[in-house]
Amino acid sequence: MPTTTPLLQIENLTTSFQTNDSAVQAVRGVSLHVNHAEILAIVGESGCGKSVTALSILRLIPIPPGRFESGEIKFNNQDLLNLSEADMQKVRGNDISMIFQEPMTSLNPIFTIGDQIGEAIIQHQNTTKGETRKQTLELLYKVSIASPEIRIDQYPHELSGGMKQRVMIAIAIACRPSLLIADEPTTALDVTIQAQILNLLSSLKQESEMSILLITHNLGIVAQFADRVTVMYSGKIVEEASVDSLFESPMHPYTRGLLNSLPKEDNKSKLESIPGSVPHPAYLPQGCAFHPRCKDAMPRCQKQPPLSNLKKESTHKVACWLYEECVKEVR
Ligand code: SF4
């Protein structure tokens, strides 16, 4: 029976890294949720905290220098930040898996792909050699690798980039996780292969009701594949909405800037870029972190950060002084 409790619920997560001088917050008070069988995209430029958020979920942040300053990460109602390392190890791969943007460096060059997928199966299930090989072949079929009987005994260097990413997906889904975190899964691939990989993820989600947390800087990918979207800037969530609502009525100036930088349908209009770049987390400007790049900035924006996750309505949230809802909250 479908449940309304989110599969993953992050509340007020702050993740920092100790440097020689101070603790630098890469993720600052992030709250988000992923529902069962949905694709939630986190978008933003490099350095906005997307990947640190993902690595925090799996507790793959090196501690020290990393530290979880505050927050909770509830997955199936257990707080991952309070689990022992042994229990967390069971969650990784069994319940939550991750695929990274660089399949070339994620696979071990000295083992066959069959060995590497098989290892993921054996780690979490007590299967015999024959059963492991059978399941490995099934997974290769599932991720649409042609001639799996041949490919299973090949080494990573014998596969194309797209095939390597399919192998990474096979490893990630080997134990049927309920949540797959895909961190820029297609960045290193050409456009045609990108679409194939994203279609594959989408159909795996349909088949198995798996949820996907898709991390990307590409709003075009979000429009095609995600159900909901969260926009991050300088370690904070600045806007959250369904994909339809975000594309129809983007509210935050940063989101509007990202959308304006997408190629237009007529392919003739000039692409607009957002001036400047994401500030280093150690040198955040006062007030709204986006104000030095924002053409709508007001004097107030330089002094006071807008509250996070303020509501326009229950499903479309924005944190920006342009909106009456944000102003009302602090009155
Ligand atoms: Fe721009 Fe001010 Fe909104 Fe920040 S709070 S995005 S500076 S208008």
What are the φ and ψ backbone dihedral angles of 20, each rounded to 5 degrees?
A: -60, -35
Same domain, 203 and 139: no
CB of 281 sitting under 6 A from ligand 1: no
Same domain, 158 and 196: no
289 CA closest ligand 1 atom index:
4
User: With contact defined as beta carbons under 8 Å apart, do 201 and 37 qualify?
Assistant: no
Residue in 120, 169, 107 with CA at minimum distance from that of residue 140: 169
Same domain, 172 and 186: no
Same domain, 110 and 236: no
C-beta neighbour count of 286 within 10 angstroms = 11
Give the pairing of strands 211-216 and 236-242. Answer: unpaired
What's the pLDDT score for residue 55?
Answer: 94
User: With contact defined as beta carbons under 8 Å apart, do 152 and 166 qualify?
Assistant: no
Residue in 259, 266, 242, 257 with CA at minimum distance from that of residue 290: 257
Chosen domain end from 151, 176, 201 = 176
CB of 307 sitting under 6 A from ligand 1: no
CATH of the domain at 72: 3.40.50.300
Amino acid occupying residue 204 = L
The answer to whether residue 199 sits within a structural domain is: yes
Strand positions, DSSP E, the chain = 8-18, 23-34, 39-43, 66-75, 78-79, 96-99, 179-183, 211-216, 228-233, 236-242, 310-313, 316-318
Same domain, 242 and 299: yes
The answer to whether residue 277 sits within a structural domain is: yes
Same domain, 254 and 223: yes
CA 255 – CA 246 distance, rounded (Å): 8
| DSSP code, position 285 | P
CA 187 – CA 91 distance, rounded (Å): 27
Tokens of 36: 């069962």
Going by C-beta distance under 8 Å and a sequence separation of 6 or more, which residues neighbour residue 227? 38, 39, 40, 242, 243
What's the pLDDT score for residue 1?
Answer: 44
The answer to whether residue 167 sits within a structural domain is: yes
User: With contact defined as beta carbons under 8 Å apart, do 203 and 14 qualify?
Assistant: no
Q: List pLDDT tens digits, range 267-322.
A: 666 778 888 888 888 889 999 999 999 999 999 999 988 875 555 556 889 999 99
CB of 172 sitting under 6 A from ligand 1: no
Q: Does the pTM exceed 0.75?
A: yes
What's the pLDDT score for residue 103?
Answer: 65
Ligand 1 centre and the CA of 288: distance in Å?
A: 6
Same domain, 207 and 238: yes
- Using alpha carbons, list the distances in angstroms from residue 206 to 93, 98, 108, 199, 212: 20, 18, 30, 11, 11
CA 97 – CA 213 distance, rounded (Å): 10
Residue 118: give the domain boundaries.
104-176
Instruction: With a cut of 50, list the residues of the chain below it in pLDDT.
Output: 1-2, 331
Q: List pLDDT tens digits, range 154-180.
A: 999 999 888 888 898 888 888 889 999
CB of 103 sitting under 6 A from ligand 1: no
Tokens of 103: 């399949």
